[in-house]
Amino acid sequence: MTRRIQYKIEEQHNGKCISMFLKEKEYSRAVIIELKKTKTGIQKNGTWAGVNEILNTGDILEICLTEQRSSENIVPKELQLDILYEDEDILVVNKPYDTPIHPSVNNYNNTLANGVVHYYQQQNKPYIFRCINRLDRDTTGVTILTKNLISASILSKRMKERGLSRTYVAFVEGITKEEGTIDLPIGREEGTIIKRKIDEKEGKHAVTHYCKLEELQVEGKAVSVVALQLETGRTHQIRVHMASIGHPLLGDFLYNESNHMLTRQALHAVSCAFYHPITGEYKRITAPLPKDMAMLMQRSSNESCDLVAKL
């Protein structure tokens, strides 16, 4: 894919060199090096320019990044994508459950990556798969992918610096407090590469905030619908944290083996909010509740509740 970006230099940037200007736009050193490799990578007023050249008010700085290869070892395979938003820089999809993000052993061609690579192959566009917020295989919802190195670099940096606000909805056992914060370290459980646990000695710092949206009665059992936001992004963080306070997720075979109300953990990435990496426009993208969780709502006394509207 080729991405061209134009900037008209304003008074506030007069006298700055191109390198400084691009760094203020959050271009990483690696991206600037990549742009310098071609004659069209960085141009000022239609002419090739070095990164040490000075910008003046009214100049037109054009950035051109061309990526001609696609992700290696990702087999294109048709997948019905639920696209929530797409432009020249990002693709946001509503990931279904039972769908891993990346190919791995025993998951060679049934992943979101396979479907997205196929989507762009059908448009005759090379595509390198870059996922910003990774979800567990059975967690559904908003998943942000980037379409070029520039947007990938900027959003990845913001993700690490908590510049992307992510909200999840979960159905958990019992009636929770109205709101709370769980600040407990998480580590790997001995003898397994998958399961995690609260580990006060060797675990990594993890913080989850939650608030109760609804109380349900499902099959005679009390269920709370909670919205959650993460300060950190540890593996299985929501699942481990909610189980640790006595409110495990419904259908979570790892941390709540006895609950079979759903066939997977009742966890959905309902929204993500961020400033666009290129335009700076504020974006808040939401994904409707998946069918299995929506059907569970219908089996309760609150079937008409619009959870997304409550967030």
CB-count burial class (<10 Å; 0-12, 13-18, 19+) for 102? middle
Structural domains in the chain plus CATH codes: 2-66 (3.10.290.10), 69-161 (3.30.2350.10), 162-311 (3.30.2350.10)
Q: Which residues are catalytic?
A: 136
16-19 long-range Cβ contacts below 8 angstroms, 24+ apart: 16/54, 16/55, 17/51, 17/52, 17/53, 17/54, 17/55, 18/42, 18/44, 18/49, 18/50, 18/51, 18/52, 18/53, 18/55, 18/61, 19/51, 19/52
Residue 133, number of CB atoms within 10 A of its CB: 21
Encode pLDDT of 237-283 as tens digits.
Answer: 999 999 999 999 999 999 999 888 899 999 999 999 999 999 999 99
- Is the per-residue pLDDT at 31 higher than 60? yes
Residue 1, pLDDT score: 85
Residue 260, pLDDT score: 85
42-48 long-range Cβ contacts below 8 angstroms, 24+ apart: 42/18, 44/18
Number of H helices, E strands in the chain: 7, 16
Q: What is the mean pLDDT of residues 177-197?
A: 95
- Is the per-residue pLDDT at 43 higher than 90? yes
Residue 106, pLDDT score: 86
Encode pLDDT of 121-163 as tens digits.
Answer: 999 999 999 999 999 999 999 999 999 999 999 999 999 888 8
